[in-house]
Amino acid sequence: MVQGTVNWNTEITQEWLQSYVDDWVKFYKKQTRDGEVASYIPELNKANPNHLGISIVGNNGVTIKSGDVDIPFTIQSISKVFCFIIACMERGVSYVLDRVDVEPTGEAFNSIMHLEMRKLKKPFNPFVNAGAITVSSMLNGKTSDEKLEPLFILLEKMLGYRPALNINVYESERDTSIRNRAIGYYLLELDYLESDMNITLETYFKQCSIEITVDDLATIGRVFANDGIDPNSGVEIIPRKIVRLAKALMLTCGMYDASGKFAAYVGIPAKSGVSGGIIAVAPPRVRDEELPFIDGCGIGVYGPSLDDKGNSIAGIKLLRHIATKWDLSVF
Amino acid sequence: MVQGTVNWNTEITQEWLQSYVDDWVKFYKKQTRDGEVASYIPELNKANPNHLGISIVGNNGVTIKSGDVDIPFTIQSISKVFCFIIACMERGVSYVLDRVDVEPTGEAFNSIMHLEMRKLKKPFNPFVNAGAITVSSMLNGKTSDEKLEPLFILLEKMLGYRPALNINVYESERDTSIRNRAIGYYLLELDYLESDMNITLETYFKQCSIEITVDDLATIGRVFANDGIDPNSGVEIIPRKIVRLAKALMLTCGMYDASGKFAAYVGIPAKSGVSGGIIAVAPPRVRDEELPFIDGCGIGVYGPSLDDKGNSIAGIKLLRHIATKWDLSVF
Amino acid sequence: MVQGTVNWNTEITQEWLQSYVDDWVKFYKKQTRDGEVASYIPELNKANPNHLGISIVGNNGVTIKSGDVDIPFTIQSISKVFCFIIACMERGVSYVLDRVDVEPTGEAFNSIMHLEMRKLKKPFNPFVNAGAITVSSMLNGKTSDEKLEPLFILLEKMLGYRPALNINVYESERDTSIRNRAIGYYLLELDYLESDMNITLETYFKQCSIEITVDDLATIGRVFANDGIDPNSGVEIIPRKIVRLAKALMLTCGMYDASGKFAAYVGIPAKSGVSGGIIAVAPPRVRDEELPFIDGCGIGVYGPSLDDKGNSIAGIKLLRHIATKWDLSVF
Amino acid sequence: MVQGTVNWNTEITQEWLQSYVDDWVKFYKKQTRDGEVASYIPELNKANPNHLGISIVGNNGVTIKSGDVDIPFTIQSISKVFCFIIACMERGVSYVLDRVDVEPTGEAFNSIMHLEMRKLKKPFNPFVNAGAITVSSMLNGKTSDEKLEPLFILLEKMLGYRPALNINVYESERDTSIRNRAIGYYLLELDYLESDMNITLETYFKQCSIEITVDDLATIGRVFANDGIDPNSGVEIIPRKIVRLAKALMLTCGMYDASGKFAAYVGIPAKSGVSGGIIAVAPPRVRDEELPFIDGCGIGVYGPSLDDKGNSIAGIKLLRHIATKWDLSVF
């Protein structure tokens, strides 16, 4: 695959793409009124519900960004993907999957019920809270900072800078995320945690509070689209096997209990967070050569007004529109 | 995309591929001993548990088949994909999806519980029995034969012959499939059925009893890989939008409550049946050009010895091996 | 215990009691407006929602009746008590309890979910539909009429006449009670039924359709209050052990998923039906001798306007009032 | 009712009763081998599994005690009854029942699932942990000691001495009872708690750790049998309405998820704790005058070897035997 070349039809210029995306961001921005900003973490509730931004970074060297792209936001549940990857890199895929399953649940992300029914004897998947907290407990290190250091190093490798923790969000989350403490104790009782529960939860709240932009998500998504290889250097920074597994999980479990609908209507691996961020990944495809991103791309979206599943209400619609029109689907 | 050309590295000849697949079919055949043939439908229980066969039909014009490829078997739950497609063609996608959701459940295929919890007010997806029976009720026609006629026509278009109903299996299924009658009555009470319940169940039992071979499944899979276009004639026989939706559902919900694991470890759309059949679809991919089926292919597998989820125990392992080695994953 | 003697304070005459009950029937009759007549069986829906009647038959020889006491109605779920008794008499208590548990569920009477969760490997208790249908399958006899003959004989012994089946209700029930067919098939699949499923359901629908009056329920209740002994003849017509068991079950599971509240607020064994009937039993108590029914009594109530649990909305309030004022509670 | 007189047949002397109970305690003591001492709280695990003791204190002035009656033990879940009573006395019955329902659940005492399903929008009853913790949060007072002071006062009124807290058990419980912390956080998130969560849990762990003997339980049970009136002084120490409610709840929900079976086979209000204690209450009954405790009695049992529901395995059998033979059942 030749990287960096623009190879679509001459009529589809970058200017045309930019103006196309601008139009649709403007169009879908109206939809932000139908949702609501997350309220359960007070700090998140300060977000501007009208914001909507998107960044698309293609393997063809083209970057399109539009809307509110400069607003930093915390990654929240998007961190579940990154920590899952780090845990697999540190412990090996088998070790992690022996302790967390990879089945979608049909239940809400913060469900405890499935643990009690114990159909699976482990959390259903690493993207429901029970699974993500279990994954955080597997990270190497004695403190939450030690545990997250490899994640910061990985992010810095991909982004070229070390993202910061939003301390206000972290503290807000730590002090108010009661359900996660209930889940933590439940996991502790089931003996699923590999580290001290308080350090695990501290790790979890910190990983959720890493601050980033849509450009960053798109850049990371592009690495995922390239199976873990840095498109600039050609160096593998995440093992292919692990990034593939992560993408499969994003497709089946990435969008809370609307994951099935997202797979059906959009058809690309993605993970959302309650801050309104979404990371999406379009792997390279054989398609009509006139399509702009057949070589693959990473996409970052931000739109803090959420639907009732906890996904960015306008972000999902924007993604669906673009993925359909530009045929990004993996299917 | 140029169809029909063999474009892989000259060293990977068809002979090499054939011998490779032969070796692995032989290897995985031993695994059939770890499973059990379906027992709840007496007629299915007559299958030979040692059987294992595979057929791969590529867009590159290459067909590989190996093992017990000549054993006819009934499609069982694989029919859920076909009837979902027919219902979408007859009623439109929105009509169907208003009545059946597309979310994976985490529950067994024959679960009634989720209907009672009524989180979704409709069956979770068209591939659990409750959803499939609801879909069958939506098919046009007053009798089960009328309802299934478009399916037979579609199959004939793809296969070049009209497959037959296995009457023994149909009667066995009709007379013994008690849980499906429980589900039928439950759906009737919830007012989800669009046709008479008995005709709906008759339709469902008949669609499950259509007899086919691994070659047939591979041929159909190839049409799916081609987004509904007959690779020989170039004619669209299933609308692209519908076949894409079907492939997305196969990935998220196709392998019973092991769908998440299949997506994670194999990574291609597939649907299994309790007879031991699996249809799998590898859409065209941009990959290393030395790989044999980067142009996409359809795969049919048969291995009636099942694991505890109801999937062909050796078939899944064989598929996983080949999909991994030849990099068929959509991710 | 001396039967037939009026032994309360001379000021509490039968006239006083009659006028007291008349007043409160009149008062609670207004509450019938807050409920709704059962609609899922069309024939039941014809009942007059304003009806409310009560009959109290005491061991002291006093009978008080008031309100709409002459309206015949079908016993519906009240039959679950009677058939449980017959099954215990025919098969022995252990045989029956090996096949149906005696635990309250917290779920609705027509729940299938608990069967699927299979915490108990048998229906939770004989008063949820799944348990009652299982009990009906245990009754001796090849046809539904043979199965129910001992019940009719028992009722005739207590009532002095053989109650009739309301054919319209039976046929309405048989033709429309879809959920019970779902439950029937589910039980069949779990291999819980001891007779042919269709005959079992026919038996169940017939037992529900036996027609009776509040006087009849009070008369039967008085036999229960006397531990199975006919108060007139002194002859035991139900073994004490079985009637005690039935009364315990009535207290813990008799009023659908409001059984706990009925036990807490009323405190006597009772069983309701969706026709609006309730049978209640006040065993003899040591209490203040001025209370009218310390020697025990049977109570029949009819009020077809139901609350959201399926219990007579005014009937429960009337019972609660009288049971509290006259201190009938077993506690 | 004349208190304090022995009025049974002259042949049934206290000596005869004593020797009868001695025989059966000896007989059932062998059954202790079939159970296991609670292990989830380390301190409880130190109990001697062979212990079995009973104390029966009758309104007729007779006290029978037999077996290991001098072993002090902590009341554990038995405290749920006492705190429910205190909460009702402090806040009023309606206030408490608006916040905790009185329905049996069919689920284990430490279930969180029902909270998530939220069928009832409040804990199912005050005797599952979720309900009991909610009740503890309603007690007046800012500290756990303030909250429990009225309970200690009430116990002292009934027992004539102020029972002590077993500090070792309390600390063991506080440090290891992880599931209860999970439940605490879950309740906090649902906004069901009326006090600070940590103080509430501290209160709950302390109330469970009150140390007592079988004599004490029998003495308290006798007050319950007398509807809250101290049989010695004739003074009402618990309002009748509240003690009646408590007895009804004990019957429907007192013995964990074996409450239905206990009601059916034993038939008297009772509450058990995982320490192996049981308090049981036989209200006065009209029965054959030859029976020893027709005037009502309180019973305390201790047997730390538990069955799989968490009830004293030998204690339940002993209670069942005696309740049946002496006809203590309320039905």
Q: pLDDT band at C119, cuts 50/70/90?
A: low
Looking at residue B40, what is its pLDDT? 79
- pLDDT per position as a tens digit, A282-317: 999 876 677 889 889 999 999 999 999 999 999 999
Q: Helix B178-189 to helix B129-138 angle, to the nearest 10 degrees?
A: 60
Q: Give the other-Cβ count within 10 Å of B91's Cβ.
A: 18
In the residue annotation, A77 being an active-site residue is answered as yes
- Partner-chain residue, chosen from A111, A113, A189, that has the shortest CB–CB distance to D182: A189
Q: Which residues of D touch C257 (CB under 8 A)?
A: 103
C104 touches chain D (CB under 8 A): yes
Pick the CATH number of A77-208 from 2.40.30.30, 3.40.30.10, 3.40.980.10, 3.40.710.10: 3.40.710.10
Q: Which residues of C touch D229 (CB under 8 A)?
A: none
Residue keyed to tokens 């892989």? B8
Q: Is the pLDDT of residue C250 over 80?
A: yes
- pLDDT per position as a tens digit, A216-273: 999 999 999 999 999 888 999 999 999 999 999 999 999 998 999 999 999 999 999 9
The answer to whether residues A186 and D184 touch, using CB atoms and an 8 Å cutoff, is no
Q: pLDDT band at B94, cuts 50/70/90?
A: very high
How many residues can be counted in chain C?
A: 331
Q: pLDDT band at B4, cuts 50/70/90?
A: very low
Helices (H), chain A: 14-29, 79-91, 93-99, 113-117, 129-138, 144-159, 167-176, 178-189, 197-208, 214-225, 240-253, 259-265, 313-325
Looking at residue A294, what is its pLDDT? 85
The residues near B35 (Cβ < 8 Å, ≥ 6 apart) are B49, B305, B306, B307, B312, B313, B314
d(CA D120, CA A329) in angstroms, rounded, equals 43
Looking at residue A6, what is its pLDDT? 45
Residue D217, beta-bridge partner list: none
Complex confidence, ipTM: 0.93
Note whether A114 contacts B102, CB cutoff 8 Å. Answer: no
Looking at residue B294, what is its pLDDT? 85
- Partner-chain residue, chosen from B1, B103, B331, that has the shortest CB–CB distance to A330: B331
Pick the CATH number of C14-71+213-232+246-325 from 3.40.710.10, 2.70.98.40, 3.40.718.10, 4.10.140.10: 3.40.710.10
D175 touches chain A (CB under 8 A): no
Best residue of D39, D116, D183 to probe chain A, by most A CBs closer than 10 Å: D116
Looking at residue B288, what is its pLDDT? 67
Residues 279-298 of D with CB under 8 A from C: 283-286, 294-296
Looking at residue C77, what is its pLDDT? 96
- Show the tokens assigned to B3: 């169809």
**Closest Cα in chain D to C225:** D331
The answer to whether residues A183 and A134 touch, using CB atoms and an 8 Å cutoff, is no
Confirm or deny that C204 is annotated as ligand binding: yes
Question: Average pLDDT, stretch C186-192?
Answer: 93
Residues of B acting as catalytic residues: 77, 80, 204, 256, 274
Q: Is the pLDDT of residue A213 over 80?
A: yes
d(CA A126, CA C271) in angstroms, rounded, equals 48
- Partner-chain residue, chosen from D116, D178, D183, that has the shortest CB–CB distance to A113: D116
- A28, A170, A192, A204: which is the annotated catalytic residue? A204
Q: Give the other-Cβ count within 10 Å of B241's Cβ.
A: 13
Percent of chain C at pLDDT exceeding 70: 95
Q: pLDDT band at C32, cuts 50/70/90?
A: very high
A107 touches chain B (CB under 8 A): yes
Looking at residue B330, what is its pLDDT? 95
Q: Is the pLDDT of residue B293 over 70?
A: yes
- Partner-chain residue, chosen from A105, A261, A284, that has the shortest CB–CB distance to B286: A284
- Partner-chain residue, chosen from C112, C178, C189, that has the shortest CB–CB distance to B178: C189
Interface partners of chain C (CB pairs < 8 Å, 3 or more) are B, D
In the residue annotation, D66 being an active-site residue is answered as no
In angstroms, the separation between the Cα of residue D251 and the nearest Cα of chain C is 8
Looking at residue C97, what is its pLDDT? 96
B107 touches chain A (CB under 8 A): yes
In the residue annotation, D77 being an active-site residue is answered as yes
A184, A190, A194, A198 alpha-carbon torsion, rounded to 10°: 30
Q: Is the pLDDT of residue B5 over 50?
A: no
Note whether D112 contacts A113, CB cutoff 8 Å. Answer: yes
Percent of chain B at pLDDT exceeding 70: 95
- A65, A80, A122, A271: which is the annotated catalytic residue? A80
Query: Which residues in D117-136 are b (16+ Cβ under 10 Å) and which e?
Result: eebbebbbbbbbbbbbbbbb
Pairing mode, if any, of strands C63-67 and C53-58?
antiparallel
Question: Average pLDDT, stretch A159-187?
Answer: 94
B116 touches chain C (CB under 8 A): yes
D20 touches chain A (CB under 8 A): no
Q: pLDDT band at B2, cuts 50/70/90?
A: very low
Q: Which residues of B touch C189 (CB under 8 A)?
A: 178-179, 182
Helices (H), C104-163: 113-117, 129-138, 144-159
C181 touches chain B (CB under 8 A): yes
Domain assignments of chain A as residue spans, ordered by start: 14-71+214-325, 77-208
B179 touches chain C (CB under 8 A): yes
Query: Which residues in B110-120 are b (16+ Cβ under 10 Å) and which e?
Result: bbbbbbbbebb
* Angstrom distances, CA of residue B133 to CA of B57, B77, B125: 30, 11, 11
d(CA D79, CA D165) in angstroms, rounded, equals 12
Note whether C117 contacts B112, CB cutoff 8 Å. Answer: no
Tell me the backbone φ, ψ of residue C88, rounded to 5 degrees: -65, -40
| Identity at B102, one-letter amino acid code | V
The residues near D138 (Cβ < 8 Å, ≥ 6 apart) are D87, D90, D91, D95, D96, D99, D194, D195
Query: Which residues in C185-207 are b (16+ Cβ under 10 Å) and which e?
Result: bbbbbbebbbbebebbbbbbbbb
d(CA B11, CA C1) in angstroms, rounded, equals 102
Q: Is the pLDDT of residue C163 over 50?
A: yes
D303 touches chain C (CB under 8 A): no
Residues of chain D with pLDDT under 70: 1-11, 118-120, 287-288
> Domain spanning A14-71+214-325: which CATH class is it, in words?
alpha beta
> Domain spanning B14-73+214-230+252-325: which CATH class is it, in words?
alpha beta
Q: Please give the residue that has the higher pLDDT: either C306 or A5.
A: C306
- Show the tokens assigned to D88: 């009702």
Nearest by Cα to A109 from A310, A316, A317: A310
- Partner-chain residue, chosen from A269, A294, A331, that has the shortest CB–CB distance to B283: A331
- C77, C79, C177, C272: which is the annotated catalytic residue? C77
In the residue annotation, C185 being an active-site residue is answered as no
Interface partners of chain B (CB pairs < 8 Å, 3 or more) are A, C
- A256, A272, A281, A317: which is the annotated catalytic residue? A256
In angstroms, the separation between the Cα of residue B95 and the nearest Cα of chain C is 26
In angstroms, the separation between the Cα of residue D111 and the nearest Cα of chain A is 7
Looking at residue C110, what is its pLDDT? 77
Same fold, A14-71+214-325 and A77-208: yes
Q: Round the average pLDDT of chain A to a whole number and report it.
A: 92
C7, C8, C10, C16 alpha-carbon torsion, rounded to 10°: -120
Looking at residue B316, what is its pLDDT? 97
Note whether A248 contacts B267, CB cutoff 8 Å. Answer: yes
Note whether D185 contacts A189, CB cutoff 8 Å. Answer: no
Tell me the backbone φ, ψ of residue A328, rounded to 5 degrees: -85, -15
In angstroms, the separation between the Cα of residue D48 and the nearest Cα of chain C is 30
| Identity at C79, one-letter amino acid code | S
Q: Which residues of C touch D221 (CB under 8 A)?
A: none
Q: Round the average pLDDT of chain D to a whole number and report it.
A: 92
Note whether C259 contacts D252, CB cutoff 8 Å. Answer: yes
Q: pLDDT band at C116, cuts 50/70/90?
A: confident
- pLDDT per position as a tens digit, C285-322: 876 677 889 889 999 999 999 999 999 999 999 999 99
A178 touches chain D (CB under 8 A): yes
Q: Which residues of C touch B188 (CB under 8 A)?
A: 178, 182
Note whether C189 contacts B183, CB cutoff 8 Å. Answer: no
Q: Which residues of B touch C191 (CB under 8 A)?
A: none
Q: Which residues of D touch A257 (CB under 8 A)?
A: none
D186 touches chain A (CB under 8 A): yes
- Partner-chain residue, chosen from C252, C294, C331, that has the shortest CB–CB distance to D263: C252
Looking at residue A288, what is its pLDDT? 67
**Closest Cα in chain D to C325:** D241
What is the second-level CATH architecture of the domain D14-71+213-325?
3-Layer(aba) Sandwich (3.40)
- pLDDT per position as a tens digit, B57-71: 999 889 999 999 999
CATH superfamily of D79-208: DD-peptidase/beta-lactamase superfamily (3.40.710.10)
A309 touches chain B (CB under 8 A): no
d(CA D287, CA D291) in angstroms, rounded, equals 7
